[in-house]
Structure 1
Amino acid sequence: MPLLYLLLFSLLTMGLVFWIPKYRLRRAVRQPFPGNYSRILRRNIPAYARMPTHLQLQLKRLIKQFLHEKKFIGCDGFRINDEVRVTIAGKACMLLLNRPASVFPDLKLVLVYPSAFIAPRTELGAGGIVTHANQTLSGESWSDGRVILAWDHVQQRNTDFIDGHNVVLHEFAHQLDSETGAPNGAPQLMSKEKYQRWSAVMMHEFRKLQEAAAYHMESAMDYYGATNPAEFFAVATETFFEKSWQMAEFHPALFAELREYYRVDPREWH
């Protein structure tokens, strides 16, 4: 009999372990969206005010889940407040609208510096020579559950949603890319046919951007996207959301792929 009680207690404990987090999440998502949060969205994400109501409601729900699940940490004396949390969560969750996806399931921490931060780099060069250097960054995405952002770079884009540069969109695109393993420019697409079409379009556009960067040709996309396929996807995401009309005109196949993947058309918000 004691063994039976022990088994029942273990099953009950396991059930509570799985049930309690889900209950807490449902309770958090059901809470009313604070009025000051809405004001932050309208002030810091210009596209929000031009979204249809159903997308605004989706975004609010996603933000509540993001804020419930992710921990924000201020670095170098930076103080985290509602404006920081809601602005970053709002921009990140724009990538999840209309998509039956969890909210960046591998992400645990968002580290925020007051300004551009320095990250050490180790590179293996020709002949096996190892070099050490420091790189100044405005953002970085890690596959171990961290995103690092410089608040001044997040903030300086708050009133400008048309220049194609958005560090939050960029780093959280890397998070989506990482959900299938090491970031390689191919996020989760659900079917072999979609991967084949995605690969063909992305590789063609990636090579076009490499050529544009090499010869300093005009491009709707930042040359940084020519670095590698992972950076190309992140830069393409920034361009899709912030320069959607230009992308649709000059890169129609790429725009179509991203519109199918993100399931929104940002041209409606500009």
Structure 2
Amino acid sequence: MLAILITLTAGASAIGWILSQSWRDRRRRNKIRAKPFPKEWRTILKKRMPYFRSLPSDLQLQLKKHIQVFLAEKQFVGCDGLEIDDEIRVTIAAQACLLLLNRQTDYYPNLRQILVYPSAFIVRQQQRDANGLEWHSQRLLAGESWGQGKVVLSWQNTLDDAADPADGRNVVIHEFAHQLDQEAGDANGAPRLGEFNAYPVWSQVLGQEFAKLQAQAASGEPSLFSYYGATNPAEFFAVISEVFFEQPQQMKADYPELYQELSRFYRLDPLNWQ
């Protein structure tokens, strides 16, 4: 009986701590959001994020408040000699926070650091096959999302993608879509949808379009989506998220069911921003 009482007391204490921590987080974030948005940051938004002006006024306000919290909580680290300044921080935060609009959010809770390289960076990998044979490979990347609390980005690619908000490519949106996916565990193309009964339709629609993209990649048939999305379901989700935000009109016309699923997940309709 004593052991049961101790267990129950410990459990209640843990729940109480979690609730109090959540309350403290909300209070701290409310204080951050109540502060005026710096004029210098607004200038950066206008310069580096062309579609900011296309957002409805309520979403502009939401985005600015999200940026304030994001920048207060996440650490930016410059790599290969890159010095982090407000232009880098605000430009990246603005695009990352697009994915949080109209949603209850804990601001990418698993994410602690954003590592920023001046340009595309080389990732070296060591692999071993079933026979025990090891080999080394290297890839040139514009971005990478780690499950260990880090996102890695190329600043030049970030700038290039932000400058053209209608080309269907955005490395920040791509990598932070992975972060949303990873909130539910390993990235597998099935982020937290909020309602359990939403998963069957999500799986059916995304699975069908993923298979279609794989077939298009194999045959060389043109697609609205990058063939990179055919790599696996996680990359498919990240790739279609880029297109959802940047080419919503064409996506809705060509893939209406897929567009509807993403619109329901993100709680946004970017067609209204045109």
Q: How far apart in 1 are the matches of 2:29 and 2:194?
A: 26
Q: Show the counterpart of 1:84.
A: 88
Q: Deviations over 1:140-176 (max 9, x none)?
A: 0001110000000001122200111100000000000
Match of 2:97 among 93, 99, 102: 93
The alpha carbon displacement at 1:124 in A equals 3.2
1:267 maps to 2:271: yes
Distance 1:16 1:236, change over 3 A: closer
Alignment of 1:7-156 (within 5 A): 23-125=27-129, 127-156=131-160
Q: Identity, % of aligned pairs?
A: 48
Structure 2 unaligned segments of length 5 or more: list them.
1-17
The answer (yes or no) to whether the contact 1:44–1:87 under 8 Å persists in 2 is yes
Supply the AA of the counterpart residue of 1:235.
V
1:200 maps to 2:201: no
Supply the AA of the counterpart residue of 1:253.
E
Distance 1:226 1:38, change over 3 A: same
Root-mean-square deviation (CA), in Å?
1.9
Q: Show the counterpart of 1:157.
A: 161
Q: Show the counterpart of 2:171.
A: 167
1:231 maps to 2:235: yes
Q: How far apart in 2 are the matches of 1:227 and 1:120?
A: 19
SS of residue matched to 1:158: helix
SS of residue matched to 2:162: coil
1:243 maps to 2:242: no
Supply the AA of the counterpart residue of 1:141.
S
SS of residue matched to 2:163: coil
The alpha carbon displacement at 1:127 in A equals 3.1
Q: Show the counterpart of 2:183.
A: 179
Q: Deviations over 1:20-57 (max 9, x none)?
A: 66554333221100111111111111111011110000
TM value normalised by structure 2: 0.89
Q: Show the counterpart of 2:12.
A: none
Q: Show the counterpart of 2:215.
A: 211
Distance 1:19 1:223, change over 3 A: closer
Supply the AA of the counterpart residue of 2:95.
K
The alpha carbon displacement at 1:78 in A equals 0.1
Q: How far apart in 2 are the matches of 1:232 and 1:83?
A: 30
Q: Show the counterpart of 1:257.
A: 261
Supply the AA of the counterpart residue of 1:37.
W
Q: How far apart in 2 are the matches of 1:187 and 1:17?
A: 24
Q: How far apart in 2 are the matches of 1:52 and 1:134?
A: 43
